[in-house]
Amino acid sequence: MNDLLNQYAFSNIKRSSTVERIVENLINLIKSSSIQVGEKLPSERQLCELIGVSRPILREALKALQVMNIIDIRQGAGTYLKNLEPGDVVEHLDIVFHLDSSLYHDLYEARRILEAGIARIAAHNITDEELTRIEDNISQAAACIDNEAFFFEQDLELHEIIMKASGNRVLPVFMQSVNKLALIMRQKTNAMSNIRHNTIKDHRAILMALRNRDPEKSAVAIEDHIRNVEKVFFYETEVE
C-alpha cells in the first residue's frame, strides 16, 4: 500500500482549502487505482500528511465520502473503499461517474438500444395529435435555444411523448431507471450550445421519420441523435 501511495502525487492543499477540494483529492487517489474496492485506506495520520491538512478537516471529507457510500468507516478497524455500483450510490451519481467515466458510454449505449426500440414501436402507433405535439415542442425549443432550463424541459418532454406513443407499458419502467442514471449526463450536454443546436436538427429528423410511419428510419434517427450527442460531448467532434 505504502509503495503504491508513494507513486501517487497529491497536490499540496493549504489548510484553508475547502472540504470539497480534499474530497476531490481523495477521489483522485481512488481513481489512480492505488486503492482497490474492499481495500483499507491509509490511516488518518498518513492521509493528513499526504494531503497537508489537519485531522478535523480530513474527517469532514471522509464523512462526506461515507455519506456518498464511497467509503465504509469501521470503528476501530479503519476506512475501506466500498463497491461503487451505480445502484448503491444513485443519489450521488456525479461522484460515481467522476470515478468511472466509462459508465457514461454504457448509458449512451443503453439509451440507444431502448429508445431506438421505443421509436420503432411508436412509428406504428403514434397519433396525429402526438406528432403535432412533437412539432410544437421542437418549434418552442428552437425559439428559446439559449434558454438552457427551458430547452432541457423540452428535450425531456419530446422523448416522453415518443415513449408514451409506443403504447408499451413495460418499456417505461426500464427507461425510468436509465433516465434517472442519465440525468446528470443530459444536464451536462444540455449546457453545451453546439449540442443544443444539433439536437434541434436531430429532433426534426426524428419527427420526419415518425410522420412517415417508418419504424426503421425512426429507430435510426433516434440512434443517430444519441450518438451525435455522445460524439460532441466526449470527443468535441462537430456533427455534419
| pLDDT tens profile 106-164 | 889 999 999 999 999 999 999 999 999 999 999 999 999 999 999 999 999 999 999 99
164 and 86 together in one domain:
no
In this predicted structure, what is the pLDDT of residue 8?
45
What average pLDDT does the segment 88-93 reach? 53
Number of domains making up the chain: 2
The domain of 134 spans 101-235
The whole-number pLDDT of residue 56 equals 86
Q: How far is CA 134 from CA 130, 178, 210, in A?
A: 6, 22, 10
Check whether residue 81 and residue 106 sit in a common domain: no
Do 28 and 6 belong together in one domain? yes
pLDDT number for residue 211: 98
DSSP conformation class of 17? -
Look at 11-25, 44-58, 160-174, 190-204 and tell me which has the smallest mean pLDDT.
11-25
In a domain, 195, yes or no: yes
Judge whether 159 lies within some domain. yes
Q: Is the pLDDT of residue 65 over 90?
A: no
7 or 185: which carries more pLDDT confidence?
185
Confidence (pLDDT) at 212? 98
Residue 31 has a pLDDT of: 65
Residue 95 is assigned to a structural domain of this protein: no
For residues 34-49, average pLDDT: 83
Q: What is the pLDDT of residue 13?
A: 43
Which domain CATH number covers 82?
1.10.10.10
> Does 173 or 184 have the greater pLDDT score?
173
Same domain for 134 and 54: no
pLDDT reported for residue 118:
97
Q: Is the pTM of this model over 0.85?
A: no
Specify the long-range contacts of residues 165-171, CB closer than 8 Å, at least 24 apart.
165/122, 165/125, 165/126, 165/127, 165/130, 165/210, 166/118, 166/119, 166/121, 166/122, 166/125, 167/121, 167/122, 167/125, 168/118, 168/121, 171/114, 171/117, 171/118, 171/121
Cell of 2: 505504502
Q: 109 and 80, same structural domain?
A: no
